Structure 1
Amino acid sequence: MASCSDDVILVAAIDFGTTYSGYAFSFKHEYQIDPMRIQTNNSWTSGNKHLFSHKAPTCILIAPDKTFHSFGYEAEENYSNLAFDDNHEDWFFFRTFKMKLHANMTLNRGMLVTDVYGKSMSAKTVFAMAINYLKGHMLSTLDRNHTLKDEDKENIRWVLTVPAIWNDKAKQFMREAAKEAGINNNQLLIALEPETASMYCKLLPLQKFTFSDSTREMKAFEPGTKFMVLDLGGGTVDVTIQQVRSDSTLQEIHKATGNAAGGTCVDEAFKNLLIKLVGNEVMTEFKTKYASDDLELQREFEIKKRSVTSDSGGKLSLRVPVSLVQCFQDLTKEDLKEVIEQSNYAGKLSLHQDKLQLNHSAIKGLFKHSMMDIVEHVKELLELDVCADLQIILMVGGFSECILIQDAVKKNFPNHRVIIPHQAGLAVLMGAVLFGHNPNTVASRVTKYTYGIKTFSNFREGIDPLEKKICVGDIDKCRDRFSKHVEIGETVEIDKTLDTLTYKPMSIEQEEITLAVYVTTQTNPQYTTDQGCICLGKLVVNVGKSSSDNKDRSVDVSMTFGGTELSVQARNKLTGKVTEAFFDFLEQSVISG
């Protein structure tokens, strides 16, 4: 990867989040003067005008004919109005759908995603609609505030952020969704969220940080310093261990790790609390008949949970829709206030007219599992040898702005310096713009898997299982051999081609070699059928027709790791011609021996 080329006049980044999404951009000439001169849209507003933000909810409303209708706060308002008039049932309303890509090793182009009522649509279409809206909104902003010719739009470099813990299938899925949204492949970079956040924090002045100690010194980005990036988003917890090189570039020194313990875990805990209070039947009735009120309740909780502090005397009050209380009364013939007072929640929860009040113990209970998962994961990482001299934890992402989460990290890791940028939720987005101008800032990464290709190789008597033996011509071959290209935990330089392996077609009729690509967390797998080996996709290489003067049609296959995506190159050994290899991670067919 290289720095911004001469024909790129502007970098535009889209931070496609689980709960909130936004965009930012900067012109090349502005970046050269001041890299932090980045523009965002800070006028996203909710319908009641109480909330102004740099991001909009990742919600999309699709009409009954499956055409795009609206996005973000507008989608919420429109859906709420439809639900209020009881006209919403044929519409599609999607939210938190990004999590469908998390840890999904069966992801393919035909995957469906379900809306809040279980109606399904093509996942790629839904993602593409959301990306297209954000792209169009940004271009409209440019058209209003800048002079940008149509031909100049072909010289925009687009950056799309994804969690570092995502697999190759998910990255390709996002790239193809962006293409469907009108972003050309040659204009698009996929950026890893913790890395872009680091790039942004490197350039922030001291006064833009909160420190866990009284020392107002910033040594997190001095050469040689190791630090942990704890990227807490709405859906995922994304953790990378990085070190600053002597040339100030960043290198990953441990593979990206994480889990699904982001802010939506708290939302799920709140939903479960309501179900325990009123019962499944009541909640189903409420969500079905009063979708508008249900949406308003979710929105209010989302706003209120941001303001939760660690003050032991703090309380949280939420307006409970009258319709929910009425549903409870109609179906149970009981009074909700009295039921709460006689339940195990007495003293923790109380209902006063339309206000549900949670004391500090109940509030912490909602955050408990998320906090525990985050803290335990960080503890496991800090016990690794590579983290022996790591002293700094950099917290970024929207969920990092929660004081309860901040205090949990500071309390459990008192010997580490916790650094939090102001507006931590914007670090990924702003850093993605910087990444688009200079991708070379990240010099190396660590592979998350062992990658290999399923091949037929000579059968080893007494070593290979007999059921693997297959006769090809007059030669005994072993099916399902794992031909390893790179091992889990390897540090690889960006764009450095690793060892080349040679493959041949099985018969003279073959004009292309189709090789199944597998991944595993094992260090040295022998067969692609070993436990934990997963078929990631297939590699198709054109080798041409066989002829009398072209008997050797073998190809040298090399993989380049270290970038945010995997690239493959195949060279015909006889002609020296480099053939195009298509690495398809989203092939739906089952590949077998």
Structure 2
Amino acid sequence: MLKLEVVEGSNFIPFTFLQEINKETCLRSSNGSLIPALNIFTFALEFFKTHALQELSDLSGTRMLNEDIRWVITVPAIWRAQAKQFMRQAAYKAGIASEDCPTQLLIALEPEAASVCCRKLRMHQMVPDPRSSPLPLMVPRRATSQPKNLDHALPDIKEDPNTKASESVSLSGFPQTKESDLTKGTRYMVVDCGGGTVDITVHEIQDNRGRLRELYKATGGPYGSVGVDIEFENLLCGIFGTDFIQHFQQKRPAGWDDLMIAFESRKRSACPDKPNSLNVSLPFSFIDLYKKSKGGQVESAVRKYGDPNIRWSSQGMLRLAPEAMRRLFLPTLNRIKQTIGDIMNNPDARGLSYLFLVGGFAESRILQSEIRKEFGHIVRVIIPQGVSLAILEGAVLFGWDPSVVNIRRSRLTYGIGVLNRFDPTKHPEEKKLSKNGVDWCTDVFECFVKINQEVSLGDTVLRSYTPARPGQRSTIINIFCSERPDVRFVTDDGVRRCGTLCLDLTDSQYQPMPNRREIQTRMFFGDTEIKVTALDVATGKFVRAGIDFLSK
């Protein structure tokens, strides 16, 4: 069994782990062995690839090959570039696509995939709001037609008059006819609540083809359902002592897994409208180890804790009243609501009509109730049936048409460090460098794109670079990033080196010329990943180029 523990870190959670991951990152297993994180992700993706190919082969009656598939891997939108590149490298090692055929693999952002799926919703595919009159979701027994309520969840969607109701796009199948026309200008928010993170994006329908424009950069954080698990663990530490809980986790890892699985079941079934207490079964190994370690009974520890909403039952259950369960959700819920509210107050995200709630954590009735209660008077809250599958089905649609989101917002400010002529009116004296009688300013930040700046698919940042000496076989340029839009120098607070632009200059056909060699690079920031191409101006040939976000 593996523990997600970074060797050089502490107090680790998966979100921060993937934000700072690199090629050398290792995980420590429960037996103390160090295993490269890249290998772990590779094994998992390889298993999924093999299973998917086998299932497709069985269903189609013919052997499906890896080359027959366009693969789509979904990641949180708030992941940084190195985490996305890490997933791509793990996929390559697992045999999903390759560096020679990178377009066979698409990295899709989870809230974008959900957005693509949700904009096609019909009323019968929504979770009804218990505060309103119920929707006719069931088909009458004798009826052979479609469910009654086939109206689009978005009233701005117009049906093609040549499309039959039975041919309409639905969440359960593939589109067989012309895509429905969407009215330009509809704005909505997608809140993707998963196990580890919450991702929030804001989109506007840009044209009648349904193209989407991102209005505000992807936002969120580690506010997923694991936060509820952490609060439950803190509760157990308060009742039985932190030292015992840690001892139990180390000595009885299987028992700890059983305990958390039991809590997961109760967490999913918790409902704000039901007064019944929820029973969490404590495994025998927990009760037995507590008795041996503490010399007392579990029941006594619960009674001593003194919370009337938490009791012990004679059947060996920890009984949590609805108020006790709600307290476990509260810190996570508050962070989610605060983040949503902050985005709604941003001028770029004004005029929203809908809020789509998706992801595995969105199955929680408590979360659904809190979001509707907090924001239902501002926007219409829409929750799809099978809410946890919205990202999966949207990813399939994204794989058919990756250009569906054609305007995004940059998550960070990106640029490089350059030398500029020294200007005493705007450059500090400590940055001054004199060379061959000319004064230069060092560490000047040359911006490629600013945080929250709109970037369209196909938009390029064009720069030209010249090797420092003839015959140079490669050029490496450091790339810096920041969460600030007003960066002046690469040494400013909050600026860090995030990657390197690598240009391979080993073209054997290149002959030295009187003029210095010029390499023209084009960088693309409008896709889900940052990409680069390079051209040797002298030869007219493309130069092998790439951006490495994983090397230290």
Tell me the TM-score range normalised by the shorter chain: 0.7 to 0.9
State whether structure 2 residue 264 is matched by structure 1 residue 306.
Answer: no
State whether structure 2 residue 404 is matched by structure 1 residue 469.
Answer: no
CA 1:136–1:95 in structure 2 vs 1: closer, same or farther (change >3 Å)?
farther
**Within 5 Å, which residues of 2 pair with 1:477-488?**
477-488=440-451
- Structure 1 counterpart of 2:75, one-letter code: V
Gaps (5+ residues) in structure 1? 1-91, 589-593
- Which residue of 246, 256, 262 corresponds with 1:284? 246
CA 1:481–1:504 in structure 2 vs 1: closer, same or farther (change >3 Å)?
farther
Match of 2:122 in 1: 205
- Which residue of 396, 402, 405 corresponds with 1:442? 405
- Structure 1 counterpart of 2:197, one-letter code: T
Q: What's the CA shift string for 1:85-106, capped at 9, x where partnerless?
A: xxxxxxx435799963547554
Match of 1:514 in 2: 476
Match of 1:27 in 2: none
Report the count of equivalent residues.
495
Match of 2:460 in 1: 497
Give the conservation status (yes or no) of the 8 Å contact 2:344–2:350: yes
State whether structure 2 residue 43 is matched by structure 1 residue 129.
Answer: yes
- Which residue of 290, 297, 304 corresponds with 1:342? 304
SS of the residue corresponding to residue 257 of structure 1 reads strand
- The Cα shift of 1:522 comes to 1.4
Supply the distance in 1 between the matched residues of 2:386 and 2:4 (Cα, whole angstroms): 23
Give the conservation status (yes or no) of the 8 Å contact 1:340–1:346: no
State whether structure 2 residue 395 is matched by structure 1 residue 432.
Answer: yes
Supply the distance in 1 between the matched residues of 2:109 and 2:350 (Cα, whole angstroms): 25
> Larger deviation: 135-144 or 117-126?
117-126
Match of 2:80 in 1: 167
- Which residue of 87, 97, 113 corresponds with 2:27? 113
Match of 2:178 in 1: none
Match of 1:457 in 2: 420
SS of the residue corresponding to residue 352 of structure 2 reads coil
Q: TM-score if structure 1 supplies the norm length? A: 0.78
Match of 1:239 in 2: 200
Supply the distance in 2 between the matched residues of 1:114 and 1:309 (Cα, whole angstroms): 38
SS of the residue corresponding to residue 421 of structure 1 reads coil
- Structure 2 counterpart of 1:359, one-letter code: A
Supply the distance in 2 between the matched residues of 1:264 and 1:227 (Cα, whole angstroms): 27
Supply the distance in 2 between the matched residues of 1:473 and 1:234 (Cα, whole angstroms): 59
- The Cα shift of 1:292 comes to 2.2
Give the conservation status (yes or no) of the 8 Å contact 2:309–2:324: no
Supply the distance in 1 between the matched residues of 2:437 and 2:518 (Cα, whole angstroms): 19
CA 1:149–1:255 in structure 2 vs 1: closer, same or farther (change >3 Å)?
same
Match of 1:218 in 2: 153
- The Cα shift of 1:311 comes to 2.2
State whether structure 2 residue 68 is matched by structure 1 residue 155.
Answer: yes
Give the conservation status (yes or no) of the 8 Å contact 1:236–1:260: yes
Q: What's the CA shift string for 1:330-374, capped at 9, x where partnerless?
A: 222222212321323244333434111001111011111110010
Supply the distance in 2 between the matched residues of 1:493 and 1:347 (Cα, whole angstroms): 53
State whether structure 2 residue 520 is matched by structure 1 residue 556.
Answer: yes
- The Cα shift of 1:402 comes to 0.2
> Larger deviation: 302-311 or 342-351?
342-351
Give the conservation status (yes or no) of the 8 Å contact 1:196–1:432: yes
Over the matched positions of the two proteins, sequence identity in percent amounts to: 32
SS of the residue corresponding to residue 380 of structure 1 reads helix
Gaps (5+ residues) in structure 2? 7-11, 136-150, 158-181
> Larger deviation: 211-220 or 305-314?
211-220
Give the conservation status (yes or no) of the 8 Å contact 1:211–1:418: no
- The Cα shift of 1:426 comes to 0.8
- The Cα shift of 1:543 comes to 4.4
- The Cα shift of 1:475 comes to 3.9
- The Cα shift of 1:509 comes to 6.1
SS of the residue corresponding to residue 451 of structure 1 reads strand
- The Cα shift of 1:316 comes to 0.9
Say what the alpha-carbon RMSD is for the aligned residues: 2.4
Give the conservation status (yes or no) of the 8 Å contact 1:552–1:574: no
SS of the residue corresponding to residue 210 of structure 1 reads coil
Q: What's the CA shift string for 1:506-561, capped at 9, x where partnerless?
A: 34464332110111111131111111112111001234699762432233322111
Higher relative contact order (CA 8 A, sep 6+): 1
Match of 1:578 in 2: 542
CA 1:157–1:180 in structure 2 vs 1: closer, same or farther (change >3 Å)?
same
Q: What's the CA shift string for 1:161-197, capped at 9, x where partnerless?
A: 0011111100000000001111113321100101111
Match of 2:110 in 1: 193
Supply the distance in 1 between the matched residues of 2:512 and 2:66 (Cα, whole angstroms): 50
Supply the distance in 2 between the matched residues of 1:338 and 1:101 (Cα, whole angstroms): 37
State whether structure 2 residue 373 is matched by structure 1 residue 407.
Answer: no
Supply the distance in 1 between the matched residues of 2:363 and 2:292 (Cα, whole angstroms): 40
- The Cα shift of 1:259 comes to 0.8
Q: What's the CA shift string for 1:8-67, capped at 9, x where partnerless?
A: xxxxxxxxxxxxxxxxxxxxxxxxxxxxxxxxxxxxxxxxxxxxxxxxxxxxxxxxxxxx
Match of 1:182 in 2: 95
Q: TM-score if structure 2 supplies the norm length? A: 0.84
SS of the residue corresponding to residue 418 of structure 1 reads strand
- Which residue of 385, 388, 396 corresponds with 2:358? 396
- Structure 2 counterpart of 1:188, one-letter code: L
- Structure 2 counterpart of 1:580, one-letter code: R
Supply the distance in 2 between the matched residues of 1:458 and 1:208 (Cα, whole angstroms): 62
- The Cα shift of 1:462 comes to 4.8
Supply the distance in 2 between the matched residues of 1:121 and 1:506 (Cα, whole angstroms): 40
Supply the distance in 2 between the matched residues of 1:347 and 1:149 (Cα, whole angstroms): 57
Match of 2:340 in 1: 378
Supply the distance in 1 between the matched residues of 2:18 and 2:431 (Cα, whole angstroms): 29
Match of 1:65 in 2: none
- The Cα shift of 1:569 comes to 2.1
**Within 5 Å, which residues of 2 pair with 1:29-108?**
92-93=1-2, 100=14, 102=16, 104=18, 106-108=20-22
